[in-house]
Amino acid sequence: MHPAVRFLVARKKIHWIILVMVLLGATSWCLQAGFSKPLTDSAQWFGTLLYQDPLEAQALRIEKLPDNVEIVTRGNVSHPVIYVINRYHLPVEVEIRLVSAENVSTSVALPAHVIVPANSDTPILSLWATNPKQTWFYLDSYQAVIGDPNAQHNARAYRLPFKEGSSFPITQSFGGSFSHTHIESYYAVDFAMPEGTPIHAARAGIIAEVNDNFSQGGVEDVAFVNRANSIRILHDDGTMAVYAHLGYHSAQVQVGDKVQTGQFIARSGNTGYSTGPHLHFAVQKNAGMQLITVPFEFQAVQGANITPLSGTMLTAY
């Protein structure tokens, strides 16, 4: 994800605009200009001196978005319309704010939260000058989090995420002090297993995300934190299962595939921030602009349910 700032400057009879690339630490800032012709998704310039007349609007934008979510401006400079392009196979929640504004009216009261459907291109906001005879300015801000904040976790027990009849030990469970301390991973389970072990879906759903291009792992480099191969499955209750540290190019599924409980989806590995070969399994939901993990149980023999505890050896049935 890259925070970006889009700079659109406009005044009638002003013939120049300078877009300046700003660097703040490791943050990339993106500058974009809009003119009196209709705005398009591809109207982007970086650090370029531009000449156009007439120019009619002035705006500054801040964005913090997941990789497959994009904010684009369409319409025209006197009545821009903001769209969200969601390329995920799951909904996203978008927060819209006006950080600062002068002589601006909006189609919805702000701040606002909008749920954008999966695989959609959705208008979420229109803006215009309250007094069209005066200059108008706004600083708009957008953030997005994957998942539907209205999801309600179905607490029925999950199938163990490996082959029926096989057994593996839990090396880190809920609240584990090594890496299960953040709300995004607090209710997660690590199973120690050899690389290449078949991984099976713990619950049916739709493949929402597949990452399997990383071949390295370890704890000596913090860069490994973002280099774990993983699969994310969207369940029918709106929650999402995450299977992480998978093997390089081991995924057996593609984004958009429907999978059944127990289906072979990948092989385990040792990619990303990892002390050794294992599978990281967690169930996440959007709790309102924040991904959190939720507690869960696994299915056991004869219909019993098991709360995963560190040091326990579990067998899939």
User: What region, left, alpha or beta, does residue 226 occupy, with left being phi > 0 and alpha being psi -120 to 50 degrees?
Assistant: alpha
Among 17-26, 33-42, 218-227, 296-305, whose mean pLDDT is lowest? 33-42
Length of the chain counted residue by residue: 317
Cβ atoms of residues 89 and 109 within 8 Å: no
Average pLDDT value over all residues in the chain: 81
Highest mean pLDDT among 33-42, 49-58, 130-139, 192-201 belongs to 192-201
CA distance 153 to 240: 10
Which amino acid type is present at position 199? I
* Residue 61, pLDDT score: 67
* Residue 197, pLDDT score: 98
Considering only residues 172 and 304, tell me which one the structure prediction assigns the higher pLDDT. 172
Q: Considering the chain, tell me which residue range(s) the CATH 2.70.70.10 domain(s) occupy.
A: 167-315
* CATH no. for 167-315: 2.70.70.10
User: What residues form DSSP beta bridges with 257?
Assistant: none
- 227, pLDDT greater than 90: no
| Confidence tier at 27 by pLDDT (50, 70, 90) | very low
Q: Considering the chain, tell me which residue range(s) the CATH 2.60.40.1180 domain(s) occupy.
A: 4-146
Considering only residues 275 and 55, tell me which one the structure prediction assigns the higher pLDDT. 275
CA distance 106 to 8: 17
User: Which class would CATH give 4-146?
Assistant: mainly beta
pTM of the model: 0.78
Nearest to 106, CA basis, from 139, 62, 63 = 139
Render the burial of 162-185: b for 16+ CB within 10 Å, e for the rest.
Answer: beeeeebebbbbbebeebbeeeeb
Residue 110 sits at φ, ψ, to 5 deg, of -115, 150
